Every structure is written in C-alpha cells, then in structure tokens.
C-alpha cells in the first residue's frame, strides 16, 4: 500500500500530497485501508432513474421531485450509452431562463467525469477531491452506465464495511465463547503452542498478547486475561533473555482451568530459590539497559498464577508450570461472556 | 483529569496516531525503567513514565492496558515500535524533560500512585 498517491480530502491531512512510506503505511487507518479494498461497485447506487434525450426539462423537474434525487443521467434508448447528466444546477439555470419546456439536451452537461465500477474506492475519492463534483456516473467494463456514486454512498459504504468488521469480531467472540458448549467430550481443552526464539526481542510479548486476546475471545473476564497475560509475558521474556536456544510455551485452556507449561533446553537455573527472590537477577548489563533483569520476573509469575511449579537442572533446562483456576461465571468457553463480569478497580 | 489535559499542560509530543484523548482518564501513575517492575506495580489505566523507548514497552503497556506511556528525555522509539503501538491502540507520548520532572508535574495535577 506504500508509494500510492492518496491526495483526497477524506484522507487525514497528514497524508495530503505525500507519498506514503512504509512507516506511514503503518499508520493508515481502517477507513483508509477500506478505500483500497472496496470496489466502487460495492458502494454505488445501481437502482437508477435515467431519462432518454427526447425528454423536456419539465420531465427532469418531475423526475427529480418524485425520486428525491439531484442528478439524472441521460442515456440513449438504443445503445444505452451515457450521453450526459442533468443536475439541479442545470435545472435552476433553466428555471431562471423561464425555459422549462426546453428539451433537456439544451441544459445537460456533456463533459462528464466518470469512474469505472471495477476501480477501487480510492480512485473515486481522488476524483471527488480534485473536481469538487458531488456525484460521479459509474461505467462498467463495456462503458455503459452501471450506477451513480455520491459522497453519501461512499460514507454509507464505509460505515457498512466498518460495521461488518465489528460484527465479525463479535461473531468470533460469540463463537469462541461457546466453544466448549458445542463440543462434547469427557474433558475438552484447547491447546495453544508458541515457539519462542532466543534473543528475539522484536517479538517479545507477542505470544502473551495473543494468548490474552484468545482468552478474551473465549469469554474470560478482563482481569483474569490480564493476570494470565502478565504471567506468560514474564515467562516469554525469560525464554528470550536467558535460554540458549529459546523454548516453548504451551497453554491448555479448559473451562475451569488454564495450565501453562513453559520449557527450554538450557542452560538451566543454578539456584532456583535465589532466582525466586525479588531483585535477584543474572541478566547481563546489556540486557539491563533494555529494562529487563530487574529480578522481578519469577516473583511476578508467582504473584499472578494460582499455582506455580519451577524445576530446573543445570545443563539440561527448565520446566515451568503455571495454573490458573476459574470459578463461577469466570469460566471460559461456556458462553458466560460479559454476564455479570464486572472488573474490580485497582487490580494490576 | 483527562489525557487531553495532561498532553496540553505538559506540552507532550504525541508519537502515535491521535485518538480522542479527552475520553481517556488515567487513574494512576507509575515510574520505572525496569519492565518487570512495571508489570508488578503499574495498575491498569495508569500513565507510565519511562526512559525506555524500545518496542517491548508496547507489549507491557498492552498487557497492562495502560492509559499512555510518556517517554522522557527525548528518547525516540523506532518506526516499528510506533507502528506496533498504533496496532495495539497504545498512546506513546514524548517530552524533553526527565522522568522526575514529569512525575512531579503529574503529581501536581492530582495523579497518584495508589
């Protein structure tokens, strides 16, 4: 989506006349993105009132009034070719001349700016901005009139698309939140696995963020999702910072319990009791400069999890287990989403 | 107190995509450059004041659902970090002053740690 001219007025001013760089592309809003996804045919009005060139301006007046429209495409009866447009402005000129019985061809505009139905919406936005026109006739592949596009159609089309996005997320949430209701077994669980690379600070926190999002979709309350997210974040960063070859995060989600297993193959923790002490860290100076190695990671995990088990052997590796127990309406995947789930204040 | 007022009063530079800052009311403040301390101590909807500008601050802010991050002493996050913050809906702010000064100002405005 970079290097495209987006000099249209619906675009925020920061993009005006600028070439979009990769950096800016990251800041493109969903609406701007939609302008590159939606085709003009997706949003145009295709139920059209047209007139053939043998009508009078009186017919134009009546058609506009009856259909509450402000512009009429004039189309040849035989060839279906678009010949011109008559707008309210043309009608006003005609009324000023007291010339209402004139043939409409006398007043219609023939210098037309048109768009193609198969073009992206962004092309139309550019034209609206450049020409100041209020409506654009839309032509199909054969060059015949397929519809009319107004700024109102654009707004409505974008809103509809945004609403669709919203509904999609709601549906996803709803489906996921009933996951365990719909699948019958003696004991159902959902397992998420993530591989974490050593020293991959760029993706640090992405597994925990994804797990948190998954829990919210499953209907977990916000406080629980945050607590699990923080616990897993610390474990994830430990794999990035302290292991030789990274490690694995394995999350098993059941309606009443979330079990997190984190393991690596080295180097192992020399003294687990010391490692659990707040403030104790073996992180290098370089790591500390990045803000890690406060010696709070493992104590944080202990604080967040309902149960924690840490086993390590030097030269072999470390296994960490975290358990979170879900009570009452806090269960996930059984359709309790949003019901009576108030967040308490001041929880971290 | 809204984030909008804080940005105006402290003359903070908004690094991420502007949103409706007047609809955000930070409830607490927290200062630290150690991420795990933030994870332990910062409450959600807090303003976090830090010198750190690398991309992990976004993960921390996102997991804790912080109201905003103020990056002090003109430390500059890279484009990737700002992009990630926009994706996650995290507001990154920046200022030339140090964390002590900014925290003092936030305290003066009525923000507390608890």
Q: Which of A138, A150, A157, A160 is nearest to A69 (CA)?
A: A150
Q: Does B17 touch chain A (CB under 8 A)?
A: yes
Q: Does A217 touch chain B (CB under 8 A)?
A: no
Give the percent of chain B with pLDDT over 90. Answer: 76
User: Following DSSP, what letter does each residue of B43-96 receive, concatenated?
Assistant: PTTEEEEES--STHHHHHHHHHT-SEEEEPTT----HHHHHHHHHHT--EEE-S
Interface mutation vs chain A, best among B44, B59, B90, most A CBs within 10 Å: B59
pLDDT at res. A178: 81
How far the first Cα of chain B sits from its last, in Å, is 15
CATH 3.30.565.10 fits A179-330, yes or no: yes
Query: Over 70: is that where the pLDDT of A15 sits?
Result: no
Query: Over 50: is that where the pLDDT of A313 sits?
Result: yes
User: Following DSSP, what letter does each residue of A74-103 receive, concatenated?
Assistant: EE-TTT--EEEEEEHHHHHHHHHTT-TTSB
Asked if the Cβ–Cβ distance from A29 to B17 is below 8 Å, we say yes
pLDDT at res. A9: 39
For A286, residues 6+ apart whose C-beta sits below 8 A from its C-beta are: none
Encoded tokens for A308: 């924690």
Architecture of the domain delimited by A13-155: Roll (3.10)
Determine the 3-state secondary structure of A348 from DSSP: coil
Put simply, the chain A residues between 19 and 58 with a CB less than 8 A from any chain B CB are 22-23, 26-27, 29
Query: Over 70: is that where the pLDDT of B92 sits?
Result: yes
Q: What average pLDDT is seen over chain A?
A: 83
Q: What average pLDDT is seen over chain B?
A: 92
Q: Give the tens place of pLDDT for each residue, B42-65.
A: 998 999 999 999 888 999 999 899
Strand-pair category, A190-196 with A247-254: antiparallel
pLDDT at res. B51: 92
Contact call for residues A228 and A260 (beta carbons, < 8 A): yes
Confidence of residue A29 (pLDDT cuts 50, 70, 90): low
For residue A205, give the nearest of B27, B59, B114 by CB distance. Answer: B59
Contact call for residues A261 and A320 (beta carbons, < 8 A): yes
Q: Does B71 touch chain A (CB under 8 A)?
A: no
Could you give the residue range(s) of every CATH 3.10.580.10 domain in chain A? 13-155
For residue A291, give the nearest of B42, B52, B79 by CB distance. Answer: B52
Q: Give the tens place of pLDDT for each residue, A98-132.
A: 999 999 999 998 888 889 988 888 888 888 888 88
Query: Over 60: is that where the pLDDT of A20 sits?
Result: no
Strand partners, A67: none
Asked if the Cβ–Cβ distance from A290 to B62 is below 8 Å, we say no
Q: Does B65 touch chain A (CB under 8 A)?
A: yes
Mean pLDDT throughout A40-46? 88
Mean pLDDT throughout A255-280? 91
Query: Over 60: is that where the pLDDT of A22 sits?
Result: no
Query: Position of tokens 């920046």?
Result: B94
Q: Does A297 touch chain B (CB under 8 A)?
A: yes
Asked if the Cβ–Cβ distance from A209 to B44 is below 8 Å, we say no
> Looking at beta carbons, which residues of chain A come within 8 Å of B35?
237, 291-292, 294
Q: Does B43 touch chain A (CB under 8 A)?
A: yes
pLDDT at res. A61: 93
Q: What is the largest CA-CA distance in chain B?
A: 34
Q: Does B113 touch chain A (CB under 8 A)?
A: no
Put simply, the chain A residues between 254 and 293 with a CB less than 8 A from any chain B CB are 290-293
The Cα of A17 is separated from the nearest Cα of chain B by a number of Å equal to 19
Q: Does B40 touch chain A (CB under 8 A)?
A: yes
Query: Over 50: is that where the pLDDT of A137 sits?
Result: yes
Mean pLDDT throughout A290-310? 89
Q: Give the tens place of pLDDT for each residue, A181-231.
A: 777 888 889 999 999 999 998 888 899 999 998 998 888 888 899 899 999
Query: Position of tokens 């994706």?
Result: B87
The Cα of B101 is separated from the nearest Cα of chain A by a number of Å equal to 20
Q: Which stretch of DSSP H or E encloses residue A136? A: strand A135-139
Confidence of residue A336 (pLDDT cuts 50, 70, 90): low
Q: Does B102 touch chain A (CB under 8 A)?
A: no
Confidence of residue A343 (pLDDT cuts 50, 70, 90): very low
For residue B42, give the nearest of A222, A296, A348 by CB distance. Answer: A348
Contact call for residues A159 and A38 (beta carbons, < 8 A): no
For A152, residues 6+ apart whose C-beta sits below 8 A from its C-beta are: none
The total of other beta-carbon atoms located within 10 Å of residue A254's CB is 17
Q: Which stretch of DSSP H or E encloses residue A43? A: helix A40-43
Q: Does A231 touch chain B (CB under 8 A)?
A: no
Torsion sign across C-alpha atoms A343, B1, B5, B11: negative
Asked if the Cβ–Cβ distance from A206 to B59 is below 8 Å, we say yes
Confidence of residue A246 (pLDDT cuts 50, 70, 90): very high
Q: Give the tens place of pLDDT for each residue, A153-187.
A: 888 888 888 887 777 777 777 777 788 877 788 88
ipTM given for this complex: 0.70
Asked if the Cβ–Cβ distance from A209 to B88 is below 8 Å, we say yes
pTM: predicted TM-score of the whole model, two decimal places? 0.59
pLDDT at res. A12: 42
For residue B63, give the nearest of A26, A226, A294 by CB distance. Answer: A226
The CATH number assigned to the domain with range B3-108 reads 3.40.1390.20
Q: Which of A37, A7, A34, A31 is nearest to A19 (CA)?
A: A7
């Amino acid at each position: 989506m970079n290097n495209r001219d987006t000099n249209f007025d619906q675009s925020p001013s920061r993009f005006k006349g600028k070439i979009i760089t990769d950096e800016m592309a990251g800041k493109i809003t969903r609406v701007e993105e939609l302008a590159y996804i939606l085709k003009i045919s997706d949003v145009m009005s295709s139920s059209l009132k047209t007139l053939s060139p043998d009508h009078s301006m009186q017919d134009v007046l009546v058609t506009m009034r009856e259909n509450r429209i402000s512009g009429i495409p004039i189309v040849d009866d035989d060839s279906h070719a678009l010949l011109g447009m008559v707008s309210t402005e043309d009608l006003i000129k005609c009324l000023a001349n007291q010339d209402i019985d004139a043939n409409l061809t006398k007043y219609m505009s023939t210098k037309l700016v048109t768009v193609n139905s198969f073009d992206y919406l962004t092309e139309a936005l550019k034209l609206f901005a450049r020409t100041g026109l209020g409506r654009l006739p839309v032509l199909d592949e054969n060059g015949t009139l397929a519809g009319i596009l107004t700024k109102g159609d654009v707004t409505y089309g974008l809103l509809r698309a945004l609403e669709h996005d919203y509904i999609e997320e709601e549906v996803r949430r709803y489906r996921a939140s009933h996951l365990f209701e719909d699948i019958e077994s003696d004991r159902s669980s959902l397992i998420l696995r993530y591989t974490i690379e050593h020293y991959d600070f760029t993706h640090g926190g992405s597994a925990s963020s994804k797990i948190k999002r998954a829990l919210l979709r499953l209907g977990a309350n916000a406080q629980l999702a945050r607590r699990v997210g923080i616990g897993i974040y610390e474990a994830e960063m430990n794999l990035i910072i302290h292991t030789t070859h990274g490690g694995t995060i394995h999350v098993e989600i059941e309606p009443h319990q979330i079990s997190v297993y984190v393991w690596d193959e080295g180097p192992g923790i020399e003294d687990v009791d010391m490692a659990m002490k707040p403030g104790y860290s073996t992180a290098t100076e370089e790591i500390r400069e990045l803000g890690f190695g406060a010696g709070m990671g493992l104590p944080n995990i202990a604080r967040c999890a309902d149960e924690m088990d840490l086993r390590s052997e030097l030269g072999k590796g470390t296994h960490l287990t975290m358990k979170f127990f879900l009570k009452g309406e806090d269960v996930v995947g059984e359709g309790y989403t949003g019901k009576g789930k108030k967040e308490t204040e001041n929880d971290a | 107190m809204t984030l909008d007022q804080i940005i105006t009063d402290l003359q903070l530079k908004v690094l991420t995509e502007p949103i409706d800052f007047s609809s955000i009311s930070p409830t607490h403040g927290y200062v630290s450059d150690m991420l795990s301390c933030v994870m332990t101590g910062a409450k959600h909807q807090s303003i976090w004041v830090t010198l750190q500008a690398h991309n992990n601050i976004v993960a921390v802010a996102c997991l804790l659902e912080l109201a905003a991050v103020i990056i002090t002493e003109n430390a500059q996050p890279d484009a990737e970090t700002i992009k990630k913050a926009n994706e996650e809906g995290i507001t990154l702010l920046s200022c030339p002053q140090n964390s002590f000064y900014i925290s003092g100002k936030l305290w003066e405005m009525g923000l507390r740690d608890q």
